[in-house]
């Protein structure tokens, strides 16, 4: 009874703070890269300047291949990936009047979390227990700090396929400690296979749909390439009776960036910078989706606070900062 009362009060708080964001506006979000060291300035103001209304914070944990454990909040991790940095980031977001999406995420060094697998039941259970501790720890933080949106997991293709009941049970556990809105982040080619959308508030998708591999496709051509994908998404949202949220979307600023971005990442150092291609791809996405009722909005991947935390090639990376794409983003994010 006490839990129900607390959740009712929390839901009222969320509704007062977030009614406009969730009911009337698109989510115009940005993924804030966790920096290695504490901020030296107001890192949220530049996001407000381009019209952002929602900021995604990503506390990272990691799993070593074949080790059934999620390691997180370690001194070996960057400041922004640990609780200390996460809490200070949330504080700055809220101080600046923006909403927060907390998205705890696991990575596997040298691999992809979608391929996570174990040979035996015992190891699966050990990893699931460890992941549960990780996700509930941050769900409690989300509740304590009135976070508007929380993600239960990201791109766990094998795990969700092989062990769906774990995820359904995990959602119920999360709901005992967190009363805000929930989503899961499915890869673009896997969202239709997720069996628990009816337990969540948004269909979350990493929206790296391959469109066109031309070096610099026009906005018109890109919009045409989106047409069958939009229809598929719209039908799926109607079938599930839930709106779709792009938990990630974005384009490298290189030749062919609207194609298979996961392949481009592997050879990014050899690719030619192409800001126009990135700008065109973003403009097409915004023009296609901003007026769609089934689309709740999305979170651009990614934004470097104080230009820290990048991997050495920001001029080719997904960030729109100081590129043609920044003006495109501002144009569409600033519209009422």
Reported as a single tens digit per residue, the pLDDT across 268-327 is 999 999 999 999 999 999 999 999 999 999 999 999 999 998 988 999 999 999 999 999
Residue 13 reports pLDDT greater than 70: no
* Helix intervals (H) in 24-163: 45-49, 83-95, 121-144, 157-162
Alpha carbon dihedral 112, 86, 252, 234, in 10-degree steps, equals 80
Reported as a single tens digit per residue, the pLDDT across 173-187 is 999 999 999 999 999
Give the three-class secondary structure for 183. strand
The percent of residues in the chain predicted with pLDDT above 90, rounded, is 90
Domain span holding position 36:
2-333
**Residue 23: per-residue pLDDT:** 54
**Residue 15: per-residue pLDDT:** 41
Reported as a single tens digit per residue, the pLDDT across 98-157 is 999 999 999 999 999 999 999 999 999 999 999 999 999 999 999 999 999 999 999 999
Higher pLDDT, 15 or 260: 260
As for how many domains the chain has, the answer is: 1
Q: What CA–CA distance (Å, rounded) separates 304 from 336?
A: 25
Contact (Cβ atoms closer than 8 angstroms) between residue 290 and residue 332? yes
**Residue 331: per-residue pLDDT:** 97
Mean pLDDT for all residues in the chain: 93
**Residue 252: per-residue pLDDT:** 98
Reported as a single tens digit per residue, the pLDDT across 239-271 is 999 999 999 999 999 999 999 999 999 999 999
Contact (Cβ atoms closer than 8 angstroms) between residue 103 and residue 95? no
Least confident of 6-20, 49-63, 264-278: 6-20
Burial class of residue 96, CB neighbours in 10 A (0-12, 13-18, 19+): middle
What CATH number does residue 21 fall under?
Answer: 3.20.20.80
């Amino acid at each position: 009874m006490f839990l129900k009362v607390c959740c009712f009060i929390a839901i009222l708080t969320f509704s007062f703070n977030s009614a406009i964001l969730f009911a009337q506006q698109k989510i115009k979000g940005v993924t804030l890269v966790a920096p290695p060291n504490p901020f030296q300035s107001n890192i949220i103001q530049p996001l407000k300047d381009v019209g952002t209304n929602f900021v995604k914070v990503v506390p990272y944990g990691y799993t070593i291949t074949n080790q059934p454990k999620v390691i997180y909040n370690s001194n070996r991790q960057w400041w922004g990936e640990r609780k200390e940095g996460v809490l200070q980031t949330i504080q700055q977001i809220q101080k600046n009047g923006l909403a927060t999406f907390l998205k705890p995420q696991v990575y596997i060094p040298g691999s992809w979390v979608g391929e996570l697998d174990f040979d035996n039941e015992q190891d699966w259970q050990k990893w699931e227990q460890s992941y549960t501790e990780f996700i509930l720890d941050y769900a409690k933080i989300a509740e304590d700090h009135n976070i508007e949106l929380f993600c239960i997991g990201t791109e766990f293709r094998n795990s969700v396929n092989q062990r769906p009941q774990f995820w359904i049970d995990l959602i119920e556990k999360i709901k005992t400690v967190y009363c805000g809105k929930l989503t899961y982040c499915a890869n673009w080619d896997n969202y239709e296979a997720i069996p628990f959308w009816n337990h969540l508030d948004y269909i979350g998708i990493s929206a790296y749909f391959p469109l066109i591999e031309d070096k610099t496709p026009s906005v018109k051509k890109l919009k045409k390439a989106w047409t069958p994908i939009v229809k598929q998404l719209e039908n799926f949202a109607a079938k599930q009776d839930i709106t779709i949220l792009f938990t990630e979307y974005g384009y490298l600023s290189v030749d062919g960036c609207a194609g298979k971005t996961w392949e481009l990442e592997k050879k990014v150092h050899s690719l030619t910078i192409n800001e126009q291609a990135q700008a065109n791809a973003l403009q097409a996405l915004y023009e296609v989706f901003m007026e769609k009722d089934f689309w709740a909005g999305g979170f651009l991947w990614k934004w470097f606070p104080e230009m820290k935390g990048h991997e050495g090639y920001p001029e080719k990376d997904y960030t729109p900062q100081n590129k043609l794409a920044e003006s495109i983003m501002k144009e569409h994010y600033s519209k009422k």
